[in-house]
């Protein structure tokens, strides 16, 4: 059995504290799921499972809450996963595996995240002292090998010689591409938003004046070349081949691999290589790629290390121009590819790649084909 992705939609990506600040993850996700089913011509009762990536929701099985809010039948239990940034792609990979194994026939898969409503975190003191508030959860058991994400990106820039000018130029291009793009076929209108509100005319002059990230004064990382925390949801529909009837995309190769946790920005490189091997492709065979831009330096490093052609990557801009809703970011890449690859016809038609880095030194990559 060869599963296929037959529909894909997302909400706009709104910066934390913006238009989606009062929306719970089920409020973000339910309209997206309903639009995906409508696009595919299927009904809620046709769905066998919902798999949702979520990194900040602090339990409660967000997938179950979303399934109920979207009007899916009560028998849809919902499966929530957390692989941080990589989770959105992994949710799709799990859906493909379940359908391929014959366990289910129709699965909604993707991610939803609300930075605006993320729970406050505190570590209890086992000896009765005051709880200690924290923001970033530990991603390794070793504090000395568990850098903050900005710290890791800054170290990557220094190691590879990526300058502030190069990072800013990359960010300017990301915004320019997004500003010129039409996302009306993929974005579900929600809370008055029909496109990503953070996208703007970012000029080199504005980028040069951008404020440095805390602790990065005089270095490479700034507010202009770093993706903002954001709220969003993105889902695809994975179905058995007899339901698809040749529509949509196939997943021809996928890999999620662990790497050096002190250099999370480089983790997608071996995952990309393995996914391409599984798909029997070389980087030059790709028609298009969507690569996560948590930081411009991280995206630049991935493109270089994986041998990807920059002119084929993030054709309509990336996360620098929209924002980073952690659990949903990977599935947003897949939604973007779905709409672009399904539109291509003729000799230019070819495979596409989605790839993302994740905290803790994890990289995920997935190759899609429209044939």
Catalytic residue of the set 85, 115, 287, 342: 85
Q: How far is CA 169 from CA 151, 154, 173, 274, 324, in A?
A: 21, 17, 6, 30, 19
**287 part of the active site:** no
Distant-in-sequence, close-in-space partners of 101: CB < 8 Å, separation ≥ 6: none
Residue 170: which H helix or E strand, with range? helix 164-180
Token pair 């590819």: residue: 337
Q: 196-200 long-range contacts, Cβ below 8 Å, gap at least 24?
A: 196/12, 196/13, 196/14, 196/321, 196/322, 196/323, 197/12, 197/14, 197/15, 197/18, 197/19, 198/13, 198/14, 198/15, 198/228, 198/230, 198/321, 198/322, 198/323, 199/175, 199/317, 199/321, 199/322, 200/175
**85 part of the active site:** yes
Question: What's the token pair of residue 242?
Answer: 């007899």
Token pair 């099985």: residue: 61
Q: Could you tell me whether strands 352-358 and 288-291 are parallel, antiparallel, or unpaired per DSSP bridges?
A: parallel
Token pair 């947003």: residue: 332
Catalytic residue of the set 115, 175, 324, 339: 324
- Residues involved in catalysis: 85, 324
């Amino acid at each position: 059995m060869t599963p296929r992705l037959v529909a894909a939609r997302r909400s706009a990506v709104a910066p934390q504290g913006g238009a989606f600040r009062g929306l719970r993850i089920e409020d973000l996700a339910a309209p997206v799921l309903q639009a995906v089913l409508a696009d595919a011509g299927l009904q809620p009762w046709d769905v066998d499972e919902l798999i949702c990536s979520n990194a900040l929701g602090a339990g409660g099985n967000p997938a179950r809450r979303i399934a109920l809010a979207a009007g899916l039948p009560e028998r849809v239990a919902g499966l929530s996963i957390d692989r941080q940034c990589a989770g959105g792609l992994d949710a799709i990979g799990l859906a493909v595996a379940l359908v391929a194994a014959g366990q289910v026939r129709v699965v909604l898969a993707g991610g939803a995240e609300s930075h605006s409503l993320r729970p406050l975190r505190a570590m209890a003191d086992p000896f009765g002292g005051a709880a200690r508030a924290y923001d970033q959860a530990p991603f390794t058991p070793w504090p000395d090998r568990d850098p903050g994400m900005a710290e890791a990106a800054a170290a990557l820039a220094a190691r590879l010689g990526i300058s502030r000018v190069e990072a800013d130029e990359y960010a300017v291009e990301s915004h320019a591409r997004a500003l010129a793009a039409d996302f009306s076929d993929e974005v579900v209108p929600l809370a008055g938003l029909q496109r990503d509100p953070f996208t703007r005319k970012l000029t080199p002059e504005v980028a040069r004046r951008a404020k440095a990230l805390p602790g990065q004064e005089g270095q490479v990382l700034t507010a202009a070349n770093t993706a903002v925390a954001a709220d969003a949801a993105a889902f695809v529909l994975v179905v058995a081949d007899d339901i698809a009837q040749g529509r949509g995309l196939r997943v021809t190769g996928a890999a999620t691999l662990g790497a050096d946790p002190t250099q999370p920005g480089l983790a997608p490189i071996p995952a990309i290589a393995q996914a391409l091997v599984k798909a029997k492709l070389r980087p030059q065979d790709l028609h298009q790629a969507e690569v996560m831009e948590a930081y411009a330096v991280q995206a630049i490093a991935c493109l270089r290390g994986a041998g990807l052609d920059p002119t084929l990557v993030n054709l309509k801009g990336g996360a620098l121009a929209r924002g980073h809703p952690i659990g949903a970011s990977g599935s947003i890449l897949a939604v973007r590819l779905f709409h672009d690859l399904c539109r291509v016809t003729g000799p230019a038609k070819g495979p596409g790649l989605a790839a993302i880095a994740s905290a803790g030194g994890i990289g995920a990559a997935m190759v899609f084909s429209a044939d």
